[in-house]
Structure 1
């Protein structure tokens, strides 16, 4: 009797948790759709001066948009009695897996573009002897964009084909799996034992793909972040002449290289921890409840966070440009270059931006004709 009472209390608790997850996922997915749609609109809007990073940002935002729509539909389906709801939920989950693996790869691709932009400016400033390989990197970027869409689709073909043939969608929505990223397949009496084995294999296959792609993406992002920080330190310590607006661009690109990995980790970290705990501690129900709620809050918000990071850094960029123009109106080029020389040991970019200004037209002509020319203050 006590066991039945405890099971009933646990079931009621799970119902409350699932209800909270449904509304959290609905709200966050809606905000994510709005955020990613805003970035897409900005990327395609004409008459706006755009940097080369807009193209990979567009693909990342489009992937976030499709993923947000999938989660929004799942949240709306949960608790309804729609026809063929189990089949729809199962296939929506599989489609969602394609989009968030694509989101991992597009995040790596976008950060690589940011690092490439930083390296290109480092080469153009005359601080590196390595030749520019713009055509090569452009081809690599195009191939990476294609693979970021193709690889997730190929990885999820077994889940679509074998899962539907083996009818792994049975009892999918009743066990609340429509609003959870991964849940172990339920033991269903209608399924033969062979089909149950296939469904269990597909479940562990999906978890393995998720964890592997996340860890590989995170490792690649960390490597790119370290390389970008090394380049940025070379900029700060160099004695070459750079205009204030050039420094503003470099500073903002470096900021995005740092903030996008943070947003990526915040979005998917709880989901990864939940998957690992489900595999290692399947009986820890209370911890599962807390992480499920946290996962619904973070995993659905990548489009929103990416939009927030880009909007904030873009706002800071315009602020720095305005500050640079004000400094150009009040300081002489020689004074500015001297201040830049004596402040090169500072660690923060804000102090440097206060001293550097754009060169006059004569110096601009010299620098354009001779990219390796430097102005050394006397």
Structure 2
């Protein structure tokens, strides 16, 4: 049995912890705030990249594996905790896609059901969609999950596991050891002994890896979202148009997102973004104009140069690992990226080729 320290209590950190605990290991999660309250909470919960045909093969491989894992994970968590992550496989309507031919070619190549549909099919699925749409793309297999509920369920499951400790409101100050091996993690609440350490701190991962003398090209990218207090059945599935989307929840609430802003670690919301998001949401579903905006918030995505996450051993270290830089797709890619990392940690045969995600050649060294 090994002692793992996981730095970061978002979806990546908690899914990693669950798999390690399932495998019989002791795990301590260290979180600077509260678990699951950063980008894992702030996102929309679509279990697919927004336009999957526009992503590179490494991202697509992780996304495909993860999509198949979510139904089973959601059922497991509901059974074990009584908290429903609300996995809904209702499909997605793409309105106004300007690279439709590319999308359909991608779908054929990967065996994904994606078809062109006309007005009758569009409005039979979403009667409240904006009028006058003559053509759309329809992906029937796409699912979504209510990510705040997912995080609650993951945390509840881990709290019930005797081999797991969760330490919140705890800052990581340093890594104790020589240049090859970490022996303990220095925190604001004392040192934690570790056989292996995993950094999965989302937008803060670059700061954490600086403690190991490495420069990780991961930066915060702000995204703002709205929540409409709508009635059940107003929107039935995810609808995407011009890069913005609406996502229904089981209780009728509808999320609308999102902005993309380079604003450092600023998480303030602003009226300009609110009005822009409201306009986009009402352009997709005009009836949303009649409903109250219940909440407006912002989160910080862990942006990376090409959207391909960094998964694997930190260069120059024997027992320091990283899982970060998922950009807009942290929730999407979490089941696969955490499984891949746990395969590497436990020296199992990896689910997919780990080479495209390795840190070697993709990170620098601090002066």
> What TM-score, normalized to structure 2?
0.28
Higher strand proportion? 2
Q: TM-score, normalised by structure 1?
A: 0.27
